[in-house]
Structure 1
Amino acid sequence: MSEQDREPPERPVQRPAQPPQPPQPPKPPPAPQKPTRPARPARPSAVLDEAHLGDIQGAFGRIPRDRVETARPGLKARLLTLLAIVGPGIIVMVGDNDAGGVATYAQAGQNHGYSLLWVLLLLIPVLIVNQEMVVRLGAVTGVGHARLIIERFGRFWGWFSVGDLFLLNFLTLVTEFIGISLAAGYLGVSRYVVVPVAALVLIGVAASGSFRRWERAMFVFIAASLLLVPLTLMSHPQWGRAAHDFVVPGIQGGASGEAVLLIIAMVGTTVAPWQLFFQQSNVIDKRITPRFIGYERADTVIGSLVVVAGGAALIMIADYAARGTGAHGHFTDAAGVAEALGRHDPVLGVLFAVVLLDASIIGAAAVTLATSYAFGDVFNLRHSLHRRFREARKFYASYSLLVLVAAAIVLIPGAPLGLITEGVQALAGLLLPSASVFLLLLCNDPEVLGPWVNRRRLNALAALIIAVLLMLSGMLMVTTLFPAVDVTALTLWFSIALAGCLTAAAALRIARRRAPPRPVPVLPRAEKLAWRMPPLALLRPVRWSPGTRLGMTALRAYLILGALLLLVKVIRLGGA
């Protein structure tokens, strides 16, 4: 390379001289740091199974446990949260329209047409009030209904309620398999095939080890129950007549003893004791906390409307089945309704049988799970659908055993299925008062619910509902034990007694209204939403007033007497 191709060397750049910098003042010493405040220890929880803590994993969404909402969520966010929460309320309500519910509503439609639709309208507030209270109990306490009764009211009340619940739920489960057997018979499939398959499906769905899979399976069965919609439309409903009978009380054929007992049966099949135990435990198992009580209330309201709509549809369908035939007023069973519909159109009969089969499976799943939840609560076992079989063997074993034994009983030739069905009604009437009373007492216990206890207006409404349920329970027990009694006269006397009790209670309330109201802790919204019941061992014991103690003594006497009389009747019928 020539010298011309070389780049000339760079000349050094001369920088101007910088003026001298003034001396910097010395930096002040760092300010002493304030001592950090120790972190506030987490509030101890009463939750009995660690699997009940964690993310909410619903059929239609997931909510992280540590999700923080920095601002008021928008409509879309609230809808997504609702989709993740829905489940316990809808499942418990649809499960209430089980085999017994289908038969009861079908009997109302076949024997009395649309005239008893008003009963369903009155049941909406009853369902919402009762189930809303167990929603709060489940979300705030994290402890199942059975365990709370034992811990707060003693072993007698706890074991009586739990023992009665176990027996009632088992017999109810048998009636669900009776419904499956009736549906299979109409569809032309042997019950020795359908009943075992249904039992295995129930066990497989529950023991999948995933709450989300179980809930999704339940919603598949719930979707199948929507067959009621085309079935109703194909039954030529009389909408004007239905709207009238929904709001205007009446009884087609007059207020006979059979009609009064049917109304009691409609109330009993719609407001069942197992519902309280199931929804409270299912709310806990889904990991719903006080932050989401509002969404679970909406879930419960939706479920209440769904169950009433389903009951109304069954009444209208059964009315059409008997319309213009000699079957009107001569109800036999749900299979008879399917046969009557089949005479109008074979498709209608098949659809009704499928609805009966589906309703029986949903009811069986809910009733059995309510029993296994209570079993785990009482004996302090792991009892969560989030756990796999090997992690909760006794919980899943109790569920499987109940299903298999109930299915086996239905398959036994000559089994006393009629006696079992009658026993279910009587036991439901016996247990309902105690379950409702305990529910009200627990929801007024500040040790249990703290800032979430009932307010006075809710207590007044709940007390009225419980009083009516007590009256109906007593009537059901009397008519079950003494079938020859005059039901119309009995209704009159019980109504007079109820009116007298309500008047006395109102007078006592007025006399004591000057007493200072019960102090209810008022907390900021954030603290209230974070409040949970402390561990059971830290709760102060319950102190009953003299009036409450007297009422509970009377209730105990009623339960013992009713149980003894019921046992005597069962022995007599068994020996007949």
Structure 2
Amino acid sequence: MTAEDTRPVVTPPTPVEGGWRHRAASVVTRVPGGARVLGYLAIAGPGLIAANAGNDAAGIATYSSAGSQFIYRTLFFMVLVTVALVLVQEMSVRLGTFTGKGIAALIREQFSLRLTAVALVCILLANTGLVVSEFAGIGAAFELVGVSRYWVVPLAAVLIWGLVLFGSYRYAERIFLVLSLAFFAYPVAAILGHPDWKDVATNLVVPHFEMSSEFLLLGVALIGTTVSPYMQFYAAAGVVDRGVGPDNFRSARIDAVVGAVFACVISITIIIATGATIGGRGPLDSAQEAAEALRPVAGNGAVALFAVGLLGASALAGAVVPLSSSYAISEAVGVERSVSRRFTEAPLFLGLFTFQIVLGAAIALTPVNLISLLIGTQVLQGIITPVILVYILVLTNRRSVLGDAVNPPVFRVVATIAVVAVSAMSLLLLGWTVLGWFGVT
């Protein structure tokens, strides 16, 4: 060892009962910069994919409705939601990296059977509605350009199912993300829409809340679509499935944090673009209205551009959402789960994935108002999200689970505040809804 060797070496993690036992060594060495970059690129994905899947059909509809209904008044709220997503994504990836287990497996080990069942019911209930909305989004994308969803949705279901079971899911991810790049047009549209930037800046840093059922409903929907439980289950399971250990945590954390920030920046520009172009119109009634926000950048091609982005985003989430459910159930039961396994090797994991694809596509073919379905799904997500966040927070606070990688004191306080704030919004909506039944609101 030379005098210029300065970087600590971490001994490879030792697998223990399906997890990882991390032993730090005092030996130090220098790792070339190029090798570090390649190392980051090698594991980059689960955090970025999970966060970007949140900008799916339901997310686009919710963000567009926020701009259409309230112009820029939800922007400060989105800044808070962004902070919450960064914290939750980091905790989820940390759990998977340092334990070698998914969130559902950890819940099964650390909580009672009844509490485990509560978590699983929540994730299945939320994800079932989401799978339907993703296939509805695929159908709506093609209907925007004159192709019937009755032809497209079954074909899309078969393609997504086949890519995961018989093809390369990693390759499919790249295809879906390339299609989703069309939504980079939103930051451009936000600029070309000539918003009142002073008003935008003010709403980004100053709270502008409204005590109305419409604002509360949309606020909870924004939480649900940005901090969706399936994203956390997938992020943790993704790093486990790829064999990422504690020695790779730094790059896994970068992937999670950058992915979360990137996804939220796109979300905020969707709100700005729709606020500048169709703000004040009120709730959206169709995907065509949401596409109008892209007119400043795409002109008459706005609908086609929106359709391409909607297709890519919906297809990506159409694979990620059912996979997250399959990971959760298989982890809780303790059976084989991996996208690299054959059907005979992981029958429960791939069987659940297949069932959700079939169910989601079938329901998406029934007559349904896309915008109402998507926003309603996100409200359900927003109500269920606090339950899952509590589990994640408790797990990352337990030294028996993470050892020295447990939440540090300051992080624990900030994360607790974020979880409490999200829970308070959901409870406020629930209370407002119950009072409405009695004619009080």
Name 1:243's counterpart in structure 2.
201
Q: C-alpha deviations, 1:146-202, integer Å up to 9, x for none?
A: 121122111000011102211210111111222222222221110012211221222
1:83 aligns with 2:41: yes
Name 1:193's counterpart in structure 2.
151
> Does the Cα contact within 8 Å between 1:98 and 1:359 map onto a contact in 2?
yes
For 2:308, the aligned partner's letter is: V
What secondary structure sits across from 1:338 in the alignment?
helix
Name 2:386's counterpart in structure 1.
433
Q: C-alpha deviations, 1:318-345, integer Å up to 9, x for none?
A: 224426xxx7224324332226766993
1:47 aligns with 2:18: yes
* Structure with more helix by fraction: 2
Q: 2:272 aligns with which of 296, 312, 316?
A: 316
Q: Distance in 1 between matches of 2:382 and 2:181?
A: 31
* C-alpha displacement of 1:73: 2.1
Q: Which moved more, 1:376-385 or 1:428-437?
A: 428-437
Residues 246-325 of structure 1: matches in 2 within 5 Å? 246-250=204-208, 256-322=212-278
| 1:423 to 1:244, Cα distance in 2 relative to 1, 3 A | closer
| 1:235 to 1:187, Cα distance in 2 relative to 1, 3 A | farther
> Does the Cα contact within 8 Å between 2:396 and 2:406 map onto a contact in 1?
yes
1:328 aligns with 2:281: yes
* C-alpha displacement of 1:111: 1.6
* C-alpha displacement of 1:295: 0.7
Name 1:375's counterpart in structure 2.
329
Q: Which moved more, 1:384-393 or 1:441-450?
A: 384-393
Name 1:220's counterpart in structure 2.
178
> Does the Cα contact within 8 Å between 1:210 and 1:388 map onto a contact in 2?
no
| 1:486 to 1:78, Cα distance in 2 relative to 1, 3 A | farther
> Does the Cα contact within 8 Å between 2:68 and 2:281 map onto a contact in 1?
yes
Unaligned runs of 5+ in 1: 1-39, 53-68, 490-576
Query: Larger RCO: Structure 1 or Structure 2 (Cα < 8 Å, ≥ 6 residues apart)?
Result: 2
Name 1:396's counterpart in structure 2.
350
| 1:481 to 1:345, Cα distance in 2 relative to 1, 3 A | farther
Name 1:525's counterpart in structure 2.
none
> Does the Cα contact within 8 Å between 1:257 and 1:486 map onto a contact in 2?
no
Name 1:563's counterpart in structure 2.
none
> Does the Cα contact within 8 Å between 2:397 and 2:406 map onto a contact in 1?
yes
* C-alpha displacement of 1:87: 0.5
1:157 aligns with 2:115: yes
> Does the Cα contact within 8 Å between 2:179 and 2:308 map onto a contact in 1?
no
1:118 aligns with 2:118: no
Q: Distance in 2 between matches of 1:209 and 1:188?
A: 29
Q: What TM-score does the superposition give when structure 2 sets the normalisation length? A: 0.86
* C-alpha displacement of 1:250: 2.9
Unaligned runs of 5+ in 2: 1-10, 21-26
* C-alpha displacement of 1:447: 2.1
Q: Distance in 2 between matches of 1:455 and 1:339?
A: 46
> Does the Cα contact within 8 Å between 1:209 and 1:389 map onto a contact in 2?
no
| 1:419 to 1:352, Cα distance in 2 relative to 1, 3 A | closer
* C-alpha displacement of 1:255: 5.1
Q: 2:142 aligns with which of 184, 200, 206?
A: 184
* C-alpha displacement of 1:241: 4.2
What secondary structure sits across from 1:198 in the alignment?
helix
Q: Which moved more, 1:364-373 or 1:377-386?
A: 377-386
Q: Which moved more, 1:377-386 or 1:102-111?
A: 377-386
Name 2:6's counterpart in structure 1.
none
Q: 2:340 aligns with which of 372, 380, 386?
A: 386
Q: Distance in 1 between matches of 2:371 and 2:301?
A: 29
Name 1:450's counterpart in structure 2.
403
CA RMSD of aligned residues (A): 3.1
Identity of aligned residues (%): 34
| 1:204 to 1:237, Cα distance in 2 relative to 1, 3 A | farther
> Does the Cα contact within 8 Å between 1:410 and 1:417 map onto a contact in 2?
no
